[in-house]
Chain A
Amino acid sequence: MRPRRRDRRFDDARDAAGNGVLDRRAFLRGGAGAVATGAFMAYAPSDASAASPPETPSGMTTPGAPLSPYGSPATFEREVTRTLIRSQPGTTGAGASRTPLEALEGMITPSGLHFERHHNGVPTIDPAQHQLLIHGMVARPLIFTVASLQRYPMESRIHFLECSGNSALMYGATPPTLTCGQTHGLVSCSEWTGVPLRLLLEEAGVDPRADWVLAEGADAAAMSRSVPMAKAMDDAMLALYQNGERLRPENGYPVRLFLPGYEGNMSVKWLRRIKVTDTPTMTKDETSKYTDLRADGTSLMFTYPMEVKSVITRPAPGLKMTGPGLYELSGIAWSGRGKIRKVEVSADGGQTWAEAVLAAPVLAYALTRFRIAWKWNGAPTVLKSRATDDAGRVQPTRDELIAQQGANVVYHYHAIQAWRVESTGEVKNVYA
């Protein structure tokens, strides 16, 4: 393999942290366009190994494919799919599928790759037949059709959704030998459009003594969770659209609850009923599940916000480095308590850190893309990222997290992720 062409922009850049992490402005020096056009394609074969294309490729000598009613990814991308699709024994729809994080860029997850977590499959719901009941401690119990919901004033917001059990295997004694998406892919980010729940609750007239609402889905698990009234009246949304089109069936078509920043299970899909109550209903999924068992045998209940977290997605397990040289480290960071303030990256196992560039827009409760240049010398090393949110919360190390809450918790894992880069270019999950 011939060495990569040297690039003056990087020769000029001073090291921002140990082992080749470059100043975060290194990529910007040549203008943003120079980055976007890929002066080097990390994780792809080098130019030298690629065959020269014909001067007139076949696509230029025959008419292309016809127009189509609904587009699909390129056929060459068919391996980019949801991954680690697992269901409870004897079932097909009671489990999860994960977003292939290492195959994606930017902040938005394609709807077809949004992670899934269902408790008894995806119901087929005709929107003309579906209705939403709001009742309980209200002056006027009301029933809404889906068509009527579409006449209400809507909001559009970009928010992540993360399953409370995302990264749970990282609590285990040995690091999982899985791809990045298989380990951390129960998080996705979409633009959600819908009706503020507050508008409908106000129309129904909430009894001032009510403190909670129960949300219930129209699936075969009749998924149900209690939501604090303060959240319901704040930024809770009845989402009808995802990334501009109507919700996908696996994301709650025709209408779902969406609670920004909260554990995904509470954003009840296929929403059929909102009951205003004075107490939590203490459903199965807020008592026997989605509670955090600590080392002393007590459990935390109602731990709603997903904590500050980040992970490097390129390079990451599932991708292979293609020899020494210049790379861009890229990853995602998010917090259920607000915006990401900064992400620091280390290429020497955490001895030294440099601040990565946060790609605009940086939004509350959204995935934030971070990037930084790294000149890999080809020697084995450990990469890490550490996020801080605007509430000042910093990602803990795995040891700190487990020391704080014990190893019996299966939810809310958010520790600093370490990827070991081998001299072969392989990237492995390590506890370091």
Chain B
Amino acid sequence: MSTREALAVATCVIVFGGCAGTAPRETPNLGRAATQAEIAGWDISIAPDGRGLPRGAGTPADGALVYAQKCQVCHGDKGVGGPNDRLVGGQGTLASKTPVRTIGSYWPYATTVFDYVRRSMPFFQPHSLTDSEVYAVTAYLLSLNGIIGEQDVMNAETLPKVKMPNRDNFILVQPWKPRVQ
């Protein structure tokens, strides 16, 4: 290593010292800085506590209209009887010999419904719904499952507060618990 390189590494350690808690090492450092605007455009994931949820809102009634146009052909009338995954019902069946896993009976987090619909549905046109349409479809599916009322509005504040019926029936095998903040 030349003196100049050694100085550069030393400077890096001083400026960013301990930033990763690792010994200094030479790496190519070819990544360019991502701007906040770029990150905002890429970051579509929603944490289970609701971090990342966008603006917008929707009701079950709004969602029923979107569902009829964009979802029903695959998932059936009111989330049952379509050729693809059943979305509604099944509560009380998980310990039986014929468990029916749906959003209502199985999914532990309501935020996952929003996250999944927004990132990958409708199947043939993912990323085509507005955020309010995604909130509305989410609200409709939660309402069909009897988890929220027919008049309830889903948005960034209300959705994370929805407690899914099966939430407490998951046993986390990977050692992990939320840190005390």
Q: Is A222 in contact with B119, judged by CB distance below 8 angstroms?
A: yes
For chain A, the count of residues having a C-beta within 8 Å of the partner chain is: 67
Chain B residues whose CB sits within 8 angstroms of the CB of A139 once the complex forms: 16, 19-20
Which single residue of chain B is at the shortest CB-CB distance from A216?
Answer: B45
Q: Is B42 in contact with A288, judged by CB distance below 8 angstroms?
A: no
Q: Which of B2-10, B29-37, B134-142, B150-158 contacts A (4 or more CB under 8 A)?
A: B29-37
Q: Considering the chains assembled together, what is the distance between the CA atoms of A50 and B126 in angstroms?
A: 56
Chain A residues whose CB sits within 8 angstroms of the CB of B115 once the complex forms: 281, 283-284
Q: Is B84 in contact with A282, judged by CB distance below 8 angstroms?
A: no
Chain A residues whose CB sits within 8 angstroms of the CB of B176 once the complex forms: 211-212, 228, 280, 302
Residue-by-residue, is A181-213 near B (CB-CB < 8 Å gives 1, otherwise 0)? 000000000000000000111111110110110
Q: Is B27 in contact with A279, judged by CB distance below 8 angstroms?
A: no
Q: Is A408 in contact with B99, judged by CB distance below 8 angstroms?
A: yes
Contacting residues of chain B (13-47) with chain A, CB-CB under 8 angstroms: 16, 19-22, 25, 27-34, 38-39, 42-47
Q: Is B171 in contact with A299, judged by CB distance below 8 angstroms?
A: yes
Partner of A272, one of B39, B42, B170: B42
Partner of A275, one of B43, B99, B120, B126: B43
Q: With A90-B84, A120-B120, A279-B47 as known contacts, state yes or no: A202 contacts B107, CB within 8 Å.
A: no
Chain B residues whose CB sits within 8 angstroms of the CB of A297 once the complex forms: 94-95, 99, 169
Chain A residues whose CB sits within 8 angstroms of the CB of B170 once the complex forms: 287, 291, 298-301
Which single residue of chain A is at the shortest CB-CB distance from B102?
Answer: A288
Residue-by-residue, is B40-68 near A (CB-CB < 8 Å gives 1, otherwise 0)? 00111111110000000000000000000
Q: CB of A56 within 8 A of chain B?
A: no
Minimum CB–CB distance from A56 to chain B (whole Å) comes to: 59
Which single residue of chain B is at the shortest CB-CB distance from A288?
Answer: B107
Q: Which of A1-9, A27-35, A142-150, A319-327 contacts B (4 or more CB under 8 A)?
A: A142-150
User: Which A residues are closer than 8 A to B by beta carbons?
Assistant: 88-91, 94, 119-120, 133-135, 139-145, 148-149, 151-152, 199-206, 208-209, 211-212, 214, 216, 220-222, 224, 228, 272-273, 275, 277-284, 287-288, 291, 293, 295-304, 407-408
User: Which B residues are closer than 8 A to A by beta carbons?
Assistant: 16, 19-22, 25, 27-34, 38-39, 42-49, 74, 83-84, 94-95, 97, 99, 101, 103, 106-109, 111-112, 115-116, 119-120, 123, 126, 169-174, 176, 178-179
Q: Which 10 A-B pairs have the closest CB atoms?
A: A142-B31, A297-B95, A302-B174, A89-B83, A148-B30, A222-B119, A297-B94, A141-B34, A205-B19, A284-B116
